[in-house]
Structure 1
């Protein structure tokens, strides 16, 4: 008799727990509603939301723009700076390396290496700049970013 009573109570408690969970548990939607194009009604259907995003980006990227040629021709023209086309020299690279302040160096290169590396680092950096400037492919090691851990004696 006691066993039957406990079985009835346990099934009632399980039902009560499942009902409480349905009522009070947090509701999570698989998607967020989106406003229609005229911003009047929210769209809740997943397919219609996707269609609305397609429509939005189509309007954004494939919109025909009209430009008045008179406005463009009326813009003042600046002088062409032909000296900017020249390849940086080794002296300019060394000068730039000396002017870098603490906390301003590139993330992957320490400032100490740039300041105290001497002409070896300057030559390597100048070679890399020349390859980049002329459009030559950069070494795969630089692309992969191979790092070597240095033992500091601690």
Structure 2
């Protein structure tokens, strides 16, 4: 009998219908919000959303007070040529061998297996 009850609870619709019977139906209520000057209480959802939009527009659209001319005075660092060079075919193959297969996709949306099994064709495209 207990296993039958537990099995019934695994059915999502049955479980949620029981919750609805116990707690009642869920009603989403929007909390009222005061107008910008504080004189009016906004209860209409469109007015509330409009007030939040106005608030964040003012908050995020402020003009900057930072003087960016200091960026011109930062000394330029020399380029590290080892990093600036395009990797050769041997380096690319070595990097592909170090990739872990069976992991999540990379930032490019491709798994390590694509590079591993792509062979010389993929390596040539990466040079």
Q: Indicate the structure (1 or 2) with the bigger Cα radius of gyration.
A: 1
TM-score of the two chains, using structure 2 as the length reference: 0.49
TM-score of the two chains, using structure 1 as the length reference: 0.43
